[in-house]
Structure 1
Amino acid sequence: MTQNLAQEAQLKSYQKRLKDDINSIVENYTKILQMVRTDADTPVSGSETQATSYEMCCRAANMCRAAESMLKLIWDIKQFLIINDFPLINDSISKKVADNMINVADIDHKLINLRDEIANELYELEDEYYNSLIK
């Protein structure tokens, strides 16, 4: 019960982070587009151009920061799914066990065949040895 509540809280946290990052990207992008629009008739001073350029750089940096945050969020979600995906983990373990059991059976079969071959060779060698001493 407590684990389900913790998982739900974690998922809500992921949703909030995603919404915040998307809103940040959209807001900064629209502000940059608004700054680009100027009237051709209005003269623009150098200091205004520099201020606008600086603000655009800051907003672009904010967009990059939000994009990096979204990449971190994706990594966190993948980690969350890997850690909390017990059916997948159990299936993987069951498959590995089945594969190992097949390998064990195959190795046992090869060892039995090898034992039989060695026993046959040993029998033939003993027979040859004891027959050669008698003569």
Structure 2
Amino acid sequence: MSIPKQNIIKEKKNKFVQNEEEYNKRLDVEINQLVDSFDHIVRASKIGDNDKYRVFQEEYLINCMSANIIRSAQSLLSLISELKQSILLYDYKSLNSGILSRIETIEQEKLTINNRLMSLQSDIRNNLKELEDVHYSSISFDMNDINNQNNEEIKPEIKPEIKQEEKKEIKQEVKQEIKQEVKQEIKQ
């Protein structure tokens, strides 16, 4: 893995740890408030000799504590809902494993494609070499045939009295004609 990917993963882990700590704190606070409120309700509901003022005061305390219990329960339910959403949306382990498996499959595909390209390149190189060999060998055969034909055509025309210089000139002319014919054949 590269360094930027590791940094991103570390940042996400740190964020997840911070969120986890925040959720744990919220959970502890809400549960403590729920237990404290329930404890106050139980203490206030003891039967005893109380005057009307004390009864109204306990009734008000019980109403407040029951409201606190309801609020804590709603807060816990919303916390559960947030946790479910975070598991569905931000399940980093499964997301990371999915991403890593996708990266691995892409790397494998890349390797197979590179191997195919290398084999195709070597096949093309070999075929090109064979074609060049065949082409150049056919040109050399054609040149030999042309030389033989030209030599046969020239021989009857050559007289024994021809000087050496004239022979050289004739050979050069023949070579030039052969080259021109070969060039024409190559173009075709």
Q: Which has the larger radius of gyration?
A: 2
- TM-score interval for Structure 1 and Structure 2 normalised by the shorter chain: 0.5 to 0.7
Aligned equivalent of 2:68: 62
Name stretches of at least 5 consecutive residues in structure 1 with no aligned partner.
95-135
- RMSD of aligned residue pairs (Cα, Å): 2.1
Structure 2 residue identity aligned to 1:8:
V
Q: TM-score, normalised by structure 2?
A: 0.44
Q: TM-score, normalised by structure 1?
A: 0.60
Aligned equivalent of 1:30: 39
Asked if 1:72 is matched to 2:72, the reply is no
Which is worse superposed, 4-13 or 80-89?
A: 80-89
Per chain length, whose mean CA-contact separation is higher, i.e. which structure has more relative contact order (CA < 8 Å, sep 6+)? 1
Name stretches of at least 5 consecutive residues in structure 2 with no aligned partner.
1-9, 103-188
Structure 2 residue identity aligned to 1:36:
S
Q: Alpha-carbon deviation of 1:38?
A: 3.4
Q: How does 1:1-135 map onto structure 2 within 5 Å?
A: 1-39=10-48, 42=49, 44-85=50-91, 87=94, 90=98
Identity %: 25
Partner deviation per Cα, 1:11-52 (whole Å, 9 max, x = no partner): 11111111111101100101111111133xx3x211211111
Q: Alpha-carbon deviation of 1:85?
A: 2.2
Give the Cα separation in 2 of the matches to 1:6 and 1:85.
12
Structure 1 moving runs of 4+ over 3 Å: none
